[in-house]
Structure 1
């Protein structure tokens, strides 16, 4: 029996409309609708095209759907302008459900350390429940507490520290308008998805901290029912959190006071190198802390425009963006230690290696070594592989 819902899910996973897929298959949009609703069985030549387009075996469409709805739209935190597209949100939910299913499959025979991030979320909720302080003061208190609890000493280690805390960070083509988004599944597994569009390392750092802010500040907020004004307020809070988290007040004040000219962006370059945040983020933090006058603030932004730093800042081409490593390390661990055989993984789900490479944004040759006899090689994972341990056979 052909399961049209699996075709529908694959189409959404790849960001295709029915019209898009119809064009690639050289059939009508109505024909695609019929395939997905089990009204018509695709011809053999169409099945072969589907196999090539989606990197799955033909048998994939003749086995029951295995995806579970672990991610809900109301828990996906987008930027304000992105939320306007409900269709886009639905596509990302499909993507996250695929991602989450395969991660759970890879981890099923592993002992995974308790996610520190979930404990941190609960602790921060207690801080936020303190009504004796302003919301702004509470957010900055949460930021300072989170940085201390996570043990973040230098912002260059932000990606590593958050992945170690239990957050799964992925890269995906989100287009030019979307920087990142985040969600927590029904099973309390947190995800941050970063866009692959070219972006400086410092701006990516801010994106990651911004999404962490959503986890800690807005865990219980239903994003799908907020008005544009409410969404804007939510984004502003996450922005404030990221600023306070990446630029701890006490240390930043000391460093900022050493600047010879507070209104000239060029004098911020050493601070950018130290904190790995943009010149604009540094200035906005300083202005927010009352370290600059209104006139200095205006002159800074004027100079920023004059020097064309709004598009490309100094050091942007010198500091390489850090790439996520946890999921890559997870694949390496289970395959290197033969917890799971790649052939079994592919055979169980009737998928091709390219399916996984594209889904998890891995190098196109990542699985090559597991498709032929093992050879001795040396590798160093981004995430400490000791954090993964195979369950005893008795379990």
Structure 2
């Protein structure tokens, strides 16, 4: 029986790892033309090249000789980047491949579980209806939607934002996105929502705003084709997502009451306790307050002068004291499935011809995450020690 090399699988796994053909060729010490020929099924790689590919991508060589299983559920028009980020077409295609892999393996691990209807789906439908039926200014509608969503999610304290969004049904993961991209969001063809956060170390308040911003995209811009928007249109939807995040994290009635207690509204140092409470940056709180008419023009000018003078634009008070929270839902899913022996990691890897390190890379897990499940003699966990799917918050999930 003749073995068939599937070049599409090499192309996809190369993109998953963020490599161009040229970069992969350099790592394998072959020509870029050779990579092109492999991926277009024009030439079969030598044995030594196959072995290097397996080591580099943490797969068995047999991986490249089985048909592609990846299901393409994400497209360019559904990737919500910052306006400037969309200039990189290459980057967008790489991230599409990443989310398609991510979605495939989450489906793989969930296939034997009963997953209930998630609240975020109902919230999205109601939000869309509010946008379609409103006769008022769109920005005013977005503010109302933000407070409506906060109420629907039952978010009382911003420190619980990550947990609340994951519990609502959004899948949040971390990935190396470089220094230019903070986060992005997308929705699959069958309606699964993703937020991808960069792993570059940043403050908890910055991460909270990223989460709220991407939530805004997922709720407000489902009907927007991101791939054909002009630069001006992209800036408009970015502004809308910012507006949503601000109103969502700083609900008007509560924030106005707290802000009015400040004795020096134009001095950034007087915002520190509010920052501790809301987990929102000093700069973002002032912008929200100014938009609500809580500062005069002169107070606003003086505030930004002081912010620059104190060099708070790059680093604010408390930024190094409040640890950012890490996602926990996907980790809890994997632990639940493996602890309960719904699946065996060896069987999973054997079925799709990958190695555990492939999954560690995909889900941004520590390299020894699967080690307890690879030993012959297992430590079996009692029921109380297993993280349930419905309550995956882990106190160790903060940096």
Aligned counterpart for 1:130 among listed residues 130, 133, 137: 133
What secondary structure, in the 3-state scheme, does the structure 2 residue paired with 1:241 have?
Answer: helix
Aligned counterpart for 1:30 among listed residues 12, 28, 33: 33
TM-score, structure 1 normalization = 0.96
Residue 312 in structure 1 maps to residue 319 in structure 2: no
What secondary structure, in the 3-state scheme, does the structure 1 residue paired with 2:195 have?
Answer: strand
CA shift in 2, pair 1:113/1:387, >3 Å: farther
Q: Distance in 2 between matches of 1:104 and 1:62?
A: 23
Q: Shift of the alpha carbon at 1:275?
A: 0.1
Deviations 1:334-364 (A, max 9, x none): 1011111111110011001100000000111
What secondary structure, in the 3-state scheme, does the structure 1 residue paired with 2:285 have?
Answer: helix
Aligned residue in 1 for 2:241 = 238
Map 1:275-290 onto structure 2 (within 5 A).
275-290=278-293
Aligned residue in 2 for 1:375 = 379
What secondary structure, in the 3-state scheme, does the structure 2 residue paired with 1:322 have?
Answer: coil
Asked whether the equivalents of residues 160 and 383 of structure 1 are also in contact (C-alpha less than 8 Å), the reply is no
Aligned residue in 2 for 1:350 = 353
Deviations 1:237-269 (A, max 9, x none): 000000000000000000000001000000000
Aligned residue in 2 for 1:182 = 185
Q: Distance in 2 between matches of 1:256 and 1:387?
A: 34
Q: Distance in 2 between matches of 1:387 and 1:196?
A: 24
Residue 201 in structure 1 maps to residue 193 in structure 2: no
Number of matched residues? 388
Aligned residue in 2 for 1:143 = 146
Deviations 1:83-110 (A, max 9, x none): 1111111110000000000000111110
Aligned residue in 1 for 2:64 = 61
Question: Runs of 5+ in structure 2 lacking a partner?
Answer: 393-399
Q: Shift of the alpha carbon at 1:130?
A: 3.3
Residue 48 in structure 1 maps to residue 43 in structure 2: no
Aligned residue in 2 for 1:94 = 97
Q: Distance in 1 between matches of 2:95 and 2:226?
A: 14
Map 1:6-21 onto structure 2 (within 5 A).
6-21=9-24
What secondary structure, in the 3-state scheme, does the structure 2 residue paired with 1:110 have?
Answer: coil
Asked whether the equivalents of residues 336 and 387 of structure 2 are also in contact (C-alpha less than 8 Å), the reply is no
TM-score, structure 2 normalization = 0.95
Q: Distance in 2 between matches of 1:185 and 1:51?
A: 29
Q: Shift of the alpha carbon at 1:132?
A: 2.4
Q: Distance in 2 between matches of 1:78 and 1:34?
A: 32
Q: Distance in 2 between matches of 1:138 and 1:249?
A: 14
Residue 70 in structure 1 maps to residue 73 in structure 2: yes
Residue 249 in structure 1 maps to residue 252 in structure 2: yes
Aligned residue in 1 for 2:330 = 327
Which moves more between the two structures, 255-264 or 121-130?
121-130
Question: Runs of 5+ in structure 1 lacking a partner?
Answer: 389-395
Q: CA RMSD in A?
A: 1.5
Aligned residue in 2 for 1:392 = none
